[in-house]
Structure 1
């Protein structure tokens, strides 16, 4: 899944791609703000944002989703309710 937002400026487009069982890839010119409103520095035009909640580099992905078996697909039912 990819979401795009932008203005009429050619280089102002930002795209967000949800990687299956992984992070959100954000590409373009953007700012990430902490809860208090300060800018979290990013030195790249593309960053991976954590979706599993386990990363030690939040809000950025550190690959921890692989170790914990994070999945973006709903789990299949395992049995009938009692």
Structure 2
């Protein structure tokens, strides 16, 4: 197999396969967290449509925080 470790000892091969599995799980977890962060950014950007630019940043942040709490509580 092309991706299998080519080592002579059984212990070294097991260790390398374990590290490879940990690597894939870690990359998958980081991908999942990046996806969540990206979705939060997209939802925040499209949550408040201030066409007149009359809201200051604090008010927008309060609206976003309130919306996030409603989203977490009620789905």
What is the TM-score with the length of structure 1 in the denominator? Answer: 0.22
Structure with the larger helix share: 2
What is the TM-score with the length of structure 2 in the denominator? Answer: 0.23
Q: Which one scores higher on RCO, CA 8 angstroms, separation ≥ 6?
A: 1
Structure with the larger strand share: 1
Q: Which has the larger radius of gyration?
A: 2
